[in-house]
Structure 1
Amino acid sequence: MISRRDYLALCMAVGAGSVLAPNHLWANEKKQGLITRPIPSSGERLPVIGLGSAATFSSAASAHDVDALKQVLQAFVQEGGAVFDTAPSYGASEVVAGRIVRELGISDKVFWATKLNVAGYGGGKADVEQARAQIEASFKAVDKPVIDLIQVHNLGDLPTQLPLLKALRDEKRIRYMGVTTTFPRQYEQLEQVMRTERLDFIGVDYAIDNRVMEERIFPLAIDRGIAVLAYVPFGRTRLWSLVKGHEVPAWATELGIRSWGQFFLKFVVSHPAVTCATPATSRVKNVIDNMGAAFGELPDAAMRERMAQHIQSL
């Protein structure tokens, strides 16, 4: 294992704005230093950085760019990643990724997190048979007898869809269940279901410039023992636009940060309520860079505020 001094020197050599695959000088340190968090309902530990399949991943899947996504998923697992977040509504992502995972022989290394919602975004009623059909399509896509996690997407018709997930969990066809939303108008409803249902997970939007979850949702998740998947940790493209033309501050190297992506991700996963952040990408260099945030040190409360204030000053 190389010393921390040598590791930081290597990070400086790589440069804050570049992304290179890890080499033999620090591979052993990375392997032993993977940051994980427990799922409160079971104690099972997950790496704090996952992989999402919306946005560019979905675009690549829809364009049938299988080779690119195969490289992404292979690099993701090689770098220590596990949580793959997808949904039937993400175009071809679920089907394409399921096929790739099987072809690569990494099914046992991927924590498969998908979603259920046939109610749509307008608050309509879900058809039970359609919902069951969507669930079975997800099982077919992943081709495993047990799916790790299914969540009701955007709180779609919970009275209809949540009981289906409860039954699947009771039958041990899924290991965990939960709900998601990235819509502020649904936050109050999210709080209500967190208080009244035995959820294993929630999935919500959270970023260094979007900290609403810290006020009520995160404290409630800690109190209720619910794992949190942090979605859109880059604010979709918002944060990239904000930092364009700016260098990562030198003091961030204290945490082993060598890119803006790692800066944003380390902030997100340093909150004690967050189990895993799931940035989406279709590029190998990005997935390797993102996974770099799962190693080294995480910011403490004082450093978190310094990081947030720095972003606010840009």
Structure 2
Amino acid sequence: MMNRRTWLQTAVATAGAAALPQSWAQSLSGRGQLITRAIPTTGERLPIIGLGSSATFAQVARSEDHDALKAVLAKMTELGGKLFDTAPSYGASEEVAGKIAQELGINKTLFWATKLNVAPRGGKADADAARKQLETSFKRIGRPVIDLVQVHNMGDIATQLPILREAKQQGRIRYLGITTTFENQYAELIETMRTQQVDFIGTNYAIDDLFAEKTILPLAKERGIAVLVYAPFGRARLWARVKGQQVPEWAKEFDATTWAQFFLKFVASHPTVTCITPATSRVANMVDNIGGGIGRLPDEAMRKRMMDHINSLPNA
């Protein structure tokens, strides 16, 4: 499957390293500040680009080659990023990132987002196991307070949300939420958003994956719920679609010079999106991703032009 790494390797092989966008190898200093968005329930602001750990980050964490991950986390914070999204199910990501953040001295400044995911899909969670998993996350992250914990892929809402509410009341977590990127769980996500008080949701949204625009994002705005976006590169399909294609010249009108910035700026231009969390284990990609949250964003007319352009390309 064509993902960002294989897309980059192909680009190097076919065009030569000198032909790659210069912004990947340059500092973003002088290009402006990273856009921030407010968490509706408190007004606290988060940089719109964060770092996820469910894909390449998790793979490298398992390999025990942690220097690359240390460099990525350091670069994110250097460039103004703050939110790191992880989960106990993402291999060694939570534990490794916790150690790295403490080594770098950024543990207290990161906005930590992790999850509860001990429920069998569609089954009932063991409350004691959920509490034990939460305690393990505290130990791994190395902080007495975790910023955000979400019920992963809807889990067992009836069992797990009360556990998170209890932890929030105790001051041990600051925000709670729910996540899913599975189509067959969207109805449950929407119902929970309507009937439960949650601070955050996490779901998939991309230029070629627009379901969230129909109900989820409007409902989040109505209910005052922050939105973390997963899979902003269309579950990697977009890299296959743009293989061999140049970023259109008109993308410079909203300060996008690479495909990653093109895709991320489309997502960021939806005003209900709070933070986007693409995963990477490469510093160059982290720099590129941060560029997707700096400068101008496309307006509605430009968003349509962007969609039309992607739709004109062959399907992956």
Contact 1:49/1:291 (8 A) holds in 2: yes
Cα shift at 1:237:
1.6
Percent sequence identity is 59
Q: Deviations over 1:68-112 (max 9, x none)?
A: 100010011111110100000000000000000000001122100
Whether the 8 Å CA contact 1:117–1:161 is kept in 2: the answer is no
- Work out the number of aligned pairs and report it: 296
Corresponding residue of 1:293: 292
Report the Cα distance in structure 1 between the residues aligned to 2:23 and 2:53, rounded to whole angstroms. 21
2:83 match: 83
1:209 aligns to what SS in structure 2?
coil
Q: For residues 90 and 112 of structure 1, what CA distance do their matches in structure 2 show? A: 14
User: Following TM superposition, by how much is the alpha carbon of 1:216 offset from its aligned partner in structure 2, in angstroms?
Assistant: 0.6
Task: Provide, for residues 195-245 of structure 1, a one-character-per-residue CA deviation record: whole Å limited to 9, x for no partner.
Answer: 111110000000000000000111000000000000000122210001000
Give the partner amino acid of 1:126: A
For structure 2, the residue ranges without an aligned partner over 5 or more in a row are: 1-17
Indicate the SS of the match to 2:113.
Answer: strand
Q: Name the counterpart of 2:176.
A: 177
- Residue type at the aligned position of 2:63: A
2:261 aligns with: 262
Shift of 1:170: 1.0
- Aligned residue number for residue 276 of structure 1: 275
Aligned ranges for residues 66-215 of structure 1 at < 5 Å? 66-121=66-121, 123-215=122-214
Q: CA deviation at 1:16?
A: 6.6
Matching residue's letter, 2:113: A
Q: Please give the secondary structure, in 2, of the residue aligned with 1:95.
A: helix
Distance 1:120 1:18, change over 3 A: farther
Report the RMSD for the aligned CA atoms in angstroms.
1.3
Contact 1:204 1:229 in 2 (8 A): yes
Assess if the C-alpha contact under 8 Å between 1:178 and 1:201 holds in 2. yes
SS of corresponding position for 1:222: helix
Equivalent residue for 2:24, pick from 14, 20, 25: 20
C-alpha distance in 2 between matches for 1:144 and 1:21: 34
Preserved CA contact (<8 Å) 1:266 1:293: yes
Please report how far the alpha carbon of residue 19 of structure 1 lies from its aligned counterpart in structure 2 after TM superposition. Answer: 4.4
1:123-150 residue CA offsets vs partner (Å, 9 max, x unmatched): 1211111100100010001111100000
Q: For 2:110 and 2:249, how far apart are their aligned partners in 1?
A: 35
Q: 1:17·1:247 contact (CA, 8 Å) conserved in 2?
A: no
CA distance in 2, matches of 1:310, 1:303: 10
Alpha-carbon distance between aligned partners in 2 of 1:205 and 1:15, rounded to the nearest angstrom? 31
Give the conservation status (yes or no) of the 8 Å contact 2:34–2:290. no
Instruction: Specify the SS of the correspondent of 2:88.
Output: coil
Instruction: Give the aligned residue type for 1:211.
Output: L
1:305 is matched with which residue? Answer: 304
- Is the contact made by 1:16 and 1:260 (CA closer than 8 Å) also made in structure 2? no
